[in-house]
Amino acid sequence: MSEQKHSGLALHWQILIALVAGTIAGVLINPGAVELPDEAVSVAIAVSRDAGSDERSPTIYVDVRDPAGLETVRRRFHSEAALHDAFPGLTGDLLNAEQTVDISVTQRSVVITETMDRISIDYSRRHNNRPVTSSVEVATADKLPGHWQAIYAEHGGGVRRQLTAAAKYGGDLFLRLLKMITVPLIVTSLVTGVAGLNNTSRFGAMFSRTLLYYLVTSLLAITTGIVIVNLVRPGIGADLPGGTEAVLVGGDQSLFGILLGLIDNMIPTNPLRALVDSSFLSIITFSILFGVFIIRTGGRAADTLREFFEAAFAVMMRLTMAVIALAPIGVFCFMVYATASQGLAIFGTLAWYMLAVFFGLLVHAAVTLPLLVRFVAKRSPIAFARAMSPALMTAFSTASSNGTLPLTMTCVEERAGVTNRVSSFVLPLGATINMDGTALYEAVAVLFIAQAYHGDVSLAQQIVVAITALLASVGAAGIPHAGLVMMAIVLQAVNLPLEAQGVIIAVDRVLDMCRTMVNVWSDSCGCAVIAGFEPAEDSTTPVSVAEGAPSGSDSSSEVST
């Protein structure tokens, strides 16, 4: 791997520069939101009552057919009085009604985002002073509802949007490359790692330690989040819409169902299909079992297979390094896209909520985990963080722990000197089930929503939030916005409306970037901690320095630093 060593700037500096340059470029080319004039319009609405809801606090749905024809918005009310309040023109027998009411539509703002093959329109406005948001995505402008074609013709397109689209394409290509190598890398590295253990009972000890680490750090993260929400109280006084119903995939699953689904996922009926579908839990279980049974089988068969997987793993590592050398370009593209497509205005209302999440993540990443690295793994947390920095910055910009996995593995092994035996076990499993950042985020976001609707939240409810946040983080995939999808489960557990997510979605990307970085950092610290328990000759590679950063003298064990 010595050819990976560049004479120029270290990889993590290149990535950092790309990150800053991409942000600046993105801000400069941000086409901004299009503000449309206020209007008073007649809208058609259809009212229906949820038959299952109780008489005294009925759930009434109102489908508002937007005059602009973008989409029908579903709003939920818990009393007829609230319904009349929102639509003063309503008359007669409500439940029979497909009626027309007059409403004022104010503060109309449209964000048009384009990629190479898609046009997305996010439309936010106030209906009779209540905030409503909706969005639509189409392949070409002629597929837009009539009214929107004119708006698109006037405000869409242009060099700025083309640049944004090109940046997104470039970033996606980088992500594709990372995805391409992820499955073969996990399989070869897990089988090599496990089959390399001489004694399976040692592997068993590593397994329980790893699970304990995942559980303890996730709970610490959630506790940090809950303490901070109670101190900052970001939701008190926040004006969240009760209007739009954000329907999220997976939101109707029960917790029990999710747990059973997880267990099902761990036992593939067809390992080849699991490989094809990139079903990580299945791949992990099968690879571990395959490795364990290579040891159990022993003899010539074991030697042949070990040699084969070691060879395949060596090739995969080389390929990975080659892809990773492109990280600065990928990061630049992603940052341009993120900042050019998301205006900064939305950050106002959600500032306290975002601050609470940021602060919680910061405490967990900069205090709790480093203390574990210092006192349990007995390593310098700063040197370890420096060794992990390319992976952490890539996690930040791609918002995907799975996507970052190849880089995380390389950094942990080549720059931080943890053996493949530990990393190939702790990291793939961690990318799938250990998500401290996501767990903390779930807890903070749900309590923020609860505060906004009900004021302060009882201790019992906070405990329910904590447990469900833990499960949601275990179930979340290591892909962008997975935490947001899983949040529906936590909201349901404490009986909060899913509508509230409408606003949170707007700022999810930036929080996703931060929590993904913490997810990856926690997995990496897990490697250091677990390696600390391994016998000395097994826990670090002989050529690497124990304190994290490579010495620079032996390029055979280095990535480009």
What Å distances lie between residue 419 and 75, 342, 429, 523, 541, CA to CA? 54, 41, 16, 14, 6
Name the residue among 36, 70, 73, 37 with its Cα closest to residue 149. 70
In 152-228, beta strands by DSSP E: none
Shortest gap between Cβ of 447 and ligand ASP (angstroms)?
Answer: 16
**Contacts with 517 (C-beta within 8 Å, 6 or more apart), sequence order:** 361, 365, 392, 393, 395, 396, 437
What span, in angstroms and rounded, lies between the C-alpha atoms of 482 and 472? Answer: 10
In the window 428-447, what residues touch ligand ASP (CB under 6 A)?
A: 435, 438
Shortest gap between Cβ of 96 and ligand ASP (angstroms)?
Answer: 43
Q: Give 110 or 476: the residue with its C-beta nearer to ligand ASP.
A: 476
Q: Residue from 114, 414, 512, 523 that binds ligand ASP (CB under 6 A)?
A: 512
Contact between 519 and ligand ASP per CB under 6 A: yes
Q: Give 73 or 178: the residue with its C-beta nearer to ligand ASP.
A: 178
In 116-158, beta strands by DSSP E: 119-127, 130-138
Q: Residue from 119, 479, 510, 525 that binds ligand ASP (CB under 6 A)?
A: 479
Q: Give 483 or 526: the residue with its C-beta nearer to ligand ASP.
A: 483
Contact between 489 and ligand ASP per CB under 6 A: no
Q: Residue from 49, 108, 481, 509 that binds ligand ASP (CB under 6 A)?
A: 481
What span, in angstroms and rounded, lies between the C-alpha atoms of 555 and 544? Answer: 10
What span, in angstroms and rounded, lies between the C-alpha atoms of 100 and 127? Answer: 14
Shortest gap between Cβ of 496 and ligand ASP (angstroms)?
Answer: 19
> What are the percentages of helix, strand and coil residues in the chain, rounded to 5?
65, 10, 25
Beta-bridged to residue 131, according to DSSP, are: 126
**CA distance between the termini of the chain:** 12
Name the residue among 517, 557, 521 with its Cα closest to residue 373. 521
Number of residues binding to ligand ASP, judged by CB under 6 A? 16
In the window 384-423, what residues touch ligand ASP (CB under 6 A)?
A: 399-401
The H-assigned helical ranges of 95-145 are: none
Shortest gap between Cβ of 171 and ligand ASP (angstroms)?
Answer: 15
Shortest gap between Cβ of 472 and ligand ASP (angstroms)?
Answer: 9
Q: What is the DSSP string of 522-545?
A: HHHHHHHHHHHHS-HHHHB-TTS-
Contact between 523 and ligand ASP per CB under 6 A: no
Contact between 364 and ligand ASP per CB under 6 A: no
Contact between 515 and ligand ASP per CB under 6 A: yes
Contact between 483 and ligand ASP per CB under 6 A: yes
Shortest gap between Cβ of 561 and ligand ASP (angstroms)?
Answer: 25
Q: Which stretch binds ligand ASP (CB under 6 A): 113-121, 148-156, 377-385, 481-489?
A: 481-489
Q: Residue from 275, 469, 476, 500 that binds ligand ASP (CB under 6 A)?
A: 476
CB atoms within 10 A of CB 267: 13
Q: Which stretch binds ligand ASP (CB under 6 A): 163-171, 357-365, 461-469, 509-517?
A: 509-517
In the complex, the residues that contact ligand ASP under the rule CB under 6 A are 399-401, 435, 438, 476, 478-483, 512, 515-516, 519
